[in-house]
Amino acid sequence: MDIKNNTALVTGGASGLGKAVVKTVVKAGGNAVIMDIKDEDGEALASELGTRTVFARTDVTDEEQVQAAIDLAIKSFGGVHFCVNCAGTGLAMRTISKTGPHNLASFEWLIKLNLIGTFNTASKAAFAMTANTANENGERGVIVNVASVAAFDGQIGQAAYSASKGGVVGMTLPMARDLSSLGIRVVTIAPGLFNTPLMQMLPEEQRNALDASVPFPRRMGTPEEFAMLVEQILVNPYVNGETIRLDGALRMAPK
């Protein structure tokens, strides 16, 4: 689908990968709803980018807040055409430790944020997309979900994280099949190591070691490179029902 004059919901849009997607959408002439819990960052980005963006404070696990963001998109820009689900986080905890089993509340919390939050936003966005007039290819919308290489190469301590991201991978094809008759595509990106604000908090020595672990290019990816792939998925009508690794040929070691 053309990005120009169409509207994207971007969860986690106030920083990192999501922020790069928002900027790419606006640069291509589209509109973006920045959905995030970071009020200050979200408002600042919307102010920087101007009238083609609005900020909607959104906890993706909250049905009412997600629906409110969708309603804002429709009110501000006339509809919802794209949904890019970048909101999520990680957790490092082994299945058992010397003190006992994995904390169940932590496991449930991460699944709720990374998996249920993604589905909550995607399903509500898809319903809004059904109101769109199909383009010449029969398309009404595109959903891009974000998993991780940990869905395939989970490391020690990543049982909860890998499960949450593996769930995102697992629902990609059935969601694409569910929505195919409506002209809505669903694609997942599984990023490897990316130079986000979270990574920038690590000591330089540790960041250098992460760079060296990537076969080629021998560095972490940039948010802009992630956004480039999102853009290609949005505009290429034949990409559907697939999970695409974006990782510089990285395969994660056990630790």
Write the CB contacts of 27 (distance below 8 Å, at least 6 apart in sequence): none
92 conformational bin, left if phi > 0, alpha if psi -120 to 50, beta if neither: beta
Whether residue 161 lies in the annotated active site: yes
Q: Which of 55, 82, 107, 161 is catalytic?
A: 161
Residues labelled as active-site residues: 161
